Amino acid sequence: MTRKLLFGTLVALILVPTSSDAHRPQTFDADEIITDPTISWTLPGTFETGAELYEFELEYEAPFTAPFEIFSPTSGGNAAFRPRYAVIGPGFPEPTNDVLEQLPEGVTVPEGSGVFLELNDAPERYVFFEGVMRRVLVSSGTIALRLAAGQHKVVIWAPAQTTGRFMFGFGVEENFEGGGFDGVFENWSAFAY
Amino acid sequence: MLTKSAFFCVFIAASVGQASDNFLGIDKRRLTVGAPLEVDVVGFAVGVHPELLWRPFSEDSGLRLRAASALKLGSEYTLLAPVSLGVRWQTSSVRLVQAELGTGLQWKAFLVPDSGAHQRVDWYWEAGLSARIASAHRVGLMAVPEFGLANITAGGLSGTFGLGLALRVTWSMAL
């Protein structure tokens, strides 16, 4: 009877359907940061001085829609940190002077490009439990952006030279082919704690 | 409810040692209790993971059924695992050093401030070594990879995926 019970448990394990919507981990020091902009990615970073600027580029051959958000890991008193980001590229509204003033120093908007600006300043932000790596993160809020064909640049910075850790996430399609977890093992503390 | 379940499991493991020749109708000589300290290295958390092992087939069998409960405190959440059920194979307990392999299912609740309890079922594996330090006592080390299988929600079970790796410093006592 006990053996049958054990066998039944093993069969049940195999039959349980599994799925997830995990982002592919990547780091900003990679030779090519985003190798395929149509899959989902997550990138961790740290503002040690608050003056750092994180950037990466996205090149789309056709219009593409994807959700974007920036997270603050809650460990180590980091929950109050509110990093900002902007997506600069064709198809977004032409920036007003107010928007241009909000961008960090040295960031320019090419002619013909517009800006999506996320100031991450909502009074209430939602707390997200990320079950793959068991992280608790505070999100700027998910927003779906319609990206026109062409080259886009994502810029991430800290307001008023505040310091803290962040994880930037975008995209939907899960894809870990070709060493998709390599970034995790090489940067364990950034992803796992 | 989760907290009550955890305390119940811990109480059973602790009280077994005080029973007479039988515990709930089971021959005590087939039982082992353990109280490992455990550290999660995927999502940092530290706590205790008391367990009760039962040899159902014979006193000399290497196969044990395992029931356990865990409570761990982490930097981002509190992890309560009210019930784990599984099997563990151990080499001969006569030897000084004993190898251990196990597998089973674990019900987990990640208690997240401002977000509630995120419950799921994980499939865990165990691999470890222990050494005899007294006639009935052993200490050892164990690695426990874990894989999230299904979320437990108000709507029932839904498939998921999750990673986990725990490291245990084990102590066990054969009754």
Interval A169-176 mean pLDDT: 86
Rg (CA), chain A: 19
Sign for the CA dihedral angle at A70, A17, B51, B24 comes to positive
Interval B38-56 mean pLDDT: 94
Is A73 in Cβ contact with B118 (below 8 Å)? no
Report residue A165's pLDDT band, with 50, 70 and 90 as the boundaries. Answer: very high
Report residue B12's pLDDT band, with 50, 70 and 90 as the boundaries. Answer: low
For residue B103, give how far its alpha carbon lies from the nearest alpha carbon of chain A (Å). 10
Residues 68-87 of B with CB under 8 A from A: 75-77, 87
| Range of lowest pLDDT (A27-31, A53-57, A166-170, A178-182) | A178-182
pLDDT score recorded for residue B92: 87
Place of tokens 């980001």: A85
pLDDT score recorded for residue A14: 42
Q: Who's near B84: CB < 8 A, 6+ residues apart?
A: B51, B66, B67, B68, B69, B70, B104, B105, B106, B107, B124
CB-nearest partner of A127 from B42, B115, B157: B115
Q: Are A126 and A137 in contact (CB under 8 A)?
A: no
Q: Are A40 and A130 in contact (CB under 8 A)?
A: no
> What is the Cα–Cα distance from B38 to B36, expressed in whole angstroms?
6
Q: Judge whether residue A83 has pLDDT over 50.
A: yes
pLDDT score recorded for residue B8: 54
> What is the Cα–Cα distance from B130 to B90, expressed in whole angstroms?
10
Establish how many alpha carbons lie within 13 A of residue B58's alpha carbon, considering only the half-sphere containing its beta carbon.
Answer: 4
What separation, in Å, do the N-terminal and C-terminal C-alpha atoms of chain A show?
A: 43
Q: Judge whether residue A134 has pLDDT over 70.
A: yes
Establish how many alpha carbons lie within 13 A of residue B158's alpha carbon, considering only the half-sphere containing its beta carbon.
Answer: 9
Is A131 in Cβ contact with B118 (below 8 Å)? yes
Q: Judge whether residue B128 has pLDDT over 80.
A: yes
pLDDT score recorded for residue B11: 52
pLDDT score recorded for residue A30: 85
Place of tokens 């409960």: B69
pLDDT digits (tens, 9 = 90+) for A10-37: 444 444 444 455 788 888 988 889 999 9
pLDDT digits (tens, 9 = 90+) for B136-158: 999 999 999 999 999 999 899 98
For residue A55, report the phi and psi dihedrals to the nearest 5 degrees.
-140, 150
pLDDT score recorded for residue A1: 52
User: For chain B, what is the mean pLDDT?
Assistant: 88
- H-helix or E-strand containing B167? strand B156-174
Closest CA relative to residue A150, chosen from A39, A14, A37, A59: A59
Interval B28-38 mean pLDDT: 92
pLDDT score recorded for residue A24: 86
Q: Judge whether residue B5 has pLDDT over 70.
A: no
> What is the Cα–Cα distance from A25 to A185, expressed in whole angstroms?
10
Q: Are B166 and B144 in contact (CB under 8 A)?
A: yes
Interval B9-35 mean pLDDT: 69
Interval A107-120 mean pLDDT: 96
pTM: 0.80
**Which residue of A lies nearest to B42 if distances are taken between CA atoms?**
A192
Interval A112-138 mean pLDDT: 94
The amino acid present at A129, given as its one-letter code, is F
Distance of CA A123 to the CA centre of its chain: 21
- Paired strand residues for A153: A57, A88
Q: How far is CA A136 from CA A30, A58, A82, A190, B154, in A?
A: 25, 27, 15, 13, 21
Q: Are B109 and B101 in contact (CB under 8 A)?
A: no
| Residue scoring higher pLDDT (B34 or A20) | B34
Q: Judge whether residue A144 has pLDDT over 50.
A: yes
Closest CA relative to residue B80, chosen from B39, B108, B105, B104: B108
> What is the Cα–Cα distance from B118 to B161, expressed in whole angstroms?
13
pLDDT score recorded for residue A16: 45
pLDDT score recorded for residue B4: 54
Cβ–Cβ pairs < 8 A, chains A and B: 80
| Residue scoring higher pLDDT (B59 or A39) | A39
